[in-house]
Structures are given as C-alpha cells and as structure tokens.
Amino acid sequence: MANDNSPTITASTTRLPLLAVVAGILLLVSCASDAPKPAPEVDAQGSAKILTFYPGQPAVAPGDQAQVCYGVENAVSVRLEPPVEQIRPLTTKCIWFKPSGSMKLTLVAAGADGKDVRASIDITVKAGAPPATRVPAEAPSGAGEGSLIETFIATATSIPPGGVSTVCYVLREPAAVALEPPSGDLGNDLRKCVLLRPVTTTTYTLTARAGEKRDSATVTIRVE
C-alpha cells in the first residue's frame, strides 16, 4: 500500500484565523457601543427669557411712587415677588407702585417648557431722594387733538451723578419716533420707556412723524 505524503490539515490550523476574525468583530462592536453618543438636541423655543428688568430711579423718598420696567420673551406668564402689581408678558412695560420700604423685587417669567427664569433688583427707599413722580414734559408743539405725542414723562427730573432716570412716551397713533440725544432704536411701539444715564444736565427731545404730521416734546433731566 502506497504511503500518502500529502500534508494533513488539522482542525486547529483552520480555527485560529477564524477565531481572530470573530474576536476583532466583537472588539469593534464593543468599542462602538462604548463610544460617547451625541447629546440630544434641546428645543429652546419654549424657554422664557428676561430681556430687561430695572428700577426707574436709584432711590425714592418715603411715601413716593417707584417705577419698575421689564421686558420678557417667549413667556406664557409673568409675576412679581412680592406681588406689588399684576403684570402681563410684554417685551416692554413699566409700572408704578408705592413701596412701604426698601425691598428686593423679583421678576419670574414662565415659559411654555414649564421652566421659570428669575431676575431681581433692589428698590431703595431713602429720605431726601429726588421726587420720582410722573413729571409731564413741556407741552408738545401743536398740542391738541391733532398732536401725535400724548405723553412724554420722566421718572426723575433731578438725579445725582451716576444716577439714572427713565423717560416714557405714549403716542396717539403709529408714528416714526426718535429721541435726541440718541438712545437707541425706539421701534414702532405706541408706548415705550427708555432708561437714561445722563452724565450732565441734558434736555431730551422726542420727535414723532406720521405722513405730513410732525410733533415733538422735551424734558430736562438735571444732574446735580
């Protein structure tokens, strides 16, 4: 019987490469599962945002009124803590109230996502503070039923150096408005308040234009 000298292939010589391939695949799958996954995108469309929240004057005298201005975005409801006044979610709004003493006032805005955002300011009541009553501006030119500017007021017409005051206006009808000296874009609101920080005594002039109509009013804020 003839000897068969052909090489014998054993099971072990065929399994080693196969096992190596399988181990490599398992390693790749394991690494892929352990890889950091991208964070899910968060839809912030329903999140409320507080645009502005500030006092109209640095301090008010005991028994005087204080003004607070605020603006929110994407808010379904807003409130003040403590609840000195009921307010609505608006982009620009100023309110008046009479504080019983110095206090911390917090604005809380709730978004459609159910989350609240907060901002706080200090209301200071101090003897000798400048009057913060609603001081009317000088009579607008052409005042009467045909005038464009119904009201132009300042929260304080006398402030200390470094102090602030707020001027507010109300228009009788839509008009293009400008404030001199310039204090930013006033937009198209029929009523608006603007926070001012004059360095020296300054006369501010509000001008309104609608077609052929033109109207203006002034108020002076003294720094002393």
Residue 119's pLDDT is 94
**Average model confidence (pLDDT) across the chain:** 77
- Give the mean model confidence (pLDDT) for residues 205-221: 90
- Give the mean model confidence (pLDDT) for residues 79-97: 87
Q: Which of 51, 92, 101, 99 is nearest to 69 (CA)?
A: 92
Residue 79's pLDDT is 95
Band (146; pLDDT cuts 50, 70, 90): low
Residue 111's pLDDT is 93
Query: Residue 77: pLDDT above 90?
Result: yes
CA distance 169 to 165: 14
Identify the top-confidence range among 13-22, 55-64, 201-210: 201-210
Query: Residue 98: pLDDT above 70?
Result: yes
Is residue 77 within 8 A of residue 89, CB to CB? The reply is yes
Query: Residue 1: pLDDT above 90?
Result: no
Residue 20's pLDDT is 52
Residue 45's pLDDT is 60
Residue with tokens 């929110």: 72
Residue 71's pLDDT is 85
CA distance 120 to 224: 28
CA distance 174 to 144: 17
CA distance 83 to 161: 32
For 46, other C-beta atoms within 10 Å of its C-beta total 12
Domain ranges, ordered by start, for the chain: 44-123, 135-223
Band (60; pLDDT cuts 50, 70, 90): confident
Pairwise pLDDT comparison (45 vs 145), residue with the higher score: 45
Query: Residue 40: pLDDT above 60?
Result: no
Q: Edge-to-edge, what's the strand order for the sheet holding 93-97? A: 49-55, 66-73, 93-97
From residue 199, alpha-carbon distances to 54, 163, 169 in Å are: 19, 9, 22
What percent of the chain has a predicted confidence (pLDDT) above 90? 28
Query: Residue 109: pLDDT above 90?
Result: yes
Query: Residue 57: pLDDT above 60?
Result: yes
Which architecture characterizes domain 135-223 according to CATH? Sandwich (2.60)
Tell me: the pLDDT tens digits for 162-206? Answer: 888 888 888 889 999 999 998 777 877 888 888 888 999 999 999
Which architecture characterizes domain 44-123 according to CATH? Sandwich (2.60)
Query: Residue 6: pLDDT above 70?
Result: no
Query: Residue 217: pLDDT above 80?
Result: yes
Common-topology check for domains 44-123 and 135-223: yes
Query: Residue 134: pLDDT above 90?
Result: no
